[in-house]
Amino acid sequence: MSETIETWFDQPLVFTIAARHVRGRFVRLGPVLNTIMAAHSYPPVAERLLAEALVLTVLLGSTLKADGGQMTLQAQTGGGPIELLVCDYRGGELRGYLKFDAERLAEAGLDPTLFALFGEGFLAITFDQEATNERYQGIVPLEGASIGEAAEHYFEQSEQISSLIKLAARHDAEAGCVAGGMLLQHLPEGEVGRDRLHVRHDVPEWEHAKAIGATLKGEELTDPAISLETLAWRLFHEDEVRVEPGVTVSRGCRCSTDYFAGVLAQFPEAEQRDMADDQGKIVVDCAFCSRIFPIALEEIATHH
Ligand SMILES: [Zn+2]
């Protein structure tokens, strides 16, 4: 074991417990999270939700092979105060935002349930594998106590993989927003190329690992004094655990003048002229990072 593996902020820790056919990862986001949040002014409830969703996005997205694939997490509201939540991950680059009705969100209180936030909403998880041009999307109801629990249902239903997901977020004056999470999964024995229909759900070694994982506290995930490696040892010390650092996460937004010009080019020209200001420019702001792009009509014309 290398002595340099510790991992504190913005870099996942990947671990495997071979004897129990269990794999997992931890991540704690700090500086990246504050960069993402700084582009918006979210009330505490919205910030915590987005922070947990971003952690979940890293936990899931970083399972992609490093070949330019993308993972997108989108929560579609069922009439709740959170109207939309979108996060995506691509090669270590993370971004996300949410839209909400401020008045209704305030009415939901300080610790709303998932239902109070989204109503009868849905969580869509999409994996785009660029190398093979494969796209896989699973959609599950936004049910359970947290967005992490909804994601557990995704793995259970779409991939037949038993999973435990823990997410936590907090905000304090010193560190700003800090959020952490753990993904723990039971790998079907000889997982590659095997028919997963026959996965048993009463596997004792998985039940044991899951019970241990369930003791992990939110405060541990967001405590900057505990490294992710320490967390792994603390939980699974009775087993042989192999750990390795994951890809460092940064805030990455793929917005550009060219991108928005391409989107606007799909509107009829008359509508484009209506949208333009006196200088013949359409001003667009990126929902993810809040950057503002004045796009000239001539620029849009080059995209036809
Ligand atoms: Zn952007």
**pLDDT tens, residue by residue, 42-51:** 999 999 999 9
Name the nearest CA neighbour of 2 among 166, 237, 11, 13. Answer: 13
- Cα(223) to centroid of ligand 1, in Å? 30
Neighbour tally for 48: CB within 10 Å: 20
Cα torsion 101, 106, 107, 110: sign: positive
Q: What is the pLDDT of residue 145?
A: 87
- Å from CA of 263 to ligand 1 middle: 14
Question: 179: CA distance to ligand 1 center in Å?
Answer: 22
Predicted confidence (pLDDT) per residue in 228-265, tens digit: 999 999 999 999 999 999 999 999 998 999 999 999 99
- Separation of 255 CA from ligand 1 center, angstroms? 4
Per-residue pLDDT, 131: 76
Burial label, 163 (beta-carbon count in 10 A; 0-12, 13-18, 19+) = buried
pLDDT one-digit tens code per residue, 179-224? 999 999 998 765 544 445 555 556 888 999 999 999 999 999 999 9
Beta bridge partners of 242: 16
The per-residue pLDDT for 303 is 85
The pLDDT score that the predictor gives to residue 65 is: 76
Kindly give the distance from the C-alpha atom of residue 172 to the centroid of ligand 1, in angstroms, as a whole number. Answer: 26
More confident residue, 98 or 1: 98
Specify whether the CB–CB gap between 27 and 246 falls below 8 A.
yes
**Could you tell me if 99 and 40 are in contact, meaning their C-beta atoms sit under 8 angstroms apart?**
no
User: Is 13 within 8 Å of 7 (Cβ atoms)?
Assistant: yes
β partners of residue 70: 90, 128
Rg (CA), the chain: 21
What are 239's two structure tokens?
């087993």
What is the average pLDDT across 69-79?
A: 93
49: left (phi over 0), alpha (psi -120 to 50) or beta: alpha
Q: Give the span between the Cα atoms of 58 and 26, in whole angstroms.
A: 9
Average pLDDT over the chain reads 91
Q: How many other CB atoms are there within 10 angstroms of residue 214's CB atom?
A: 11
Cα 58 to ligand 1 centroid, rounded to whole Å? 18
Question: Could you tell me the pLDDT band of residue 1, with boundaries at 50, 70 and 90?
Answer: very low
Residue 184 structure tokens: 């723990």
Are the beta carbons of 190 and 198 closer than 8 angstroms?
no
Rounded distance from Cα 291 to ligand 1 centre (Å): 6
Structure tokens at 299: 């620029």
Put the strands of the sheet holding 22-29 in their side by side order.
Answer: 163-172, 176-186, 22-29, 13-17, 242-245
231, 241 Cβ separation under 8 angstroms: no
Q: How confident is the model at residue 66 (pLDDT cuts 50, 70, 90)?
A: low
Single pTM value for the model: 0.91
pLDDT for residue 193: 45
Contact 20, 209 (CB under 8 A): yes
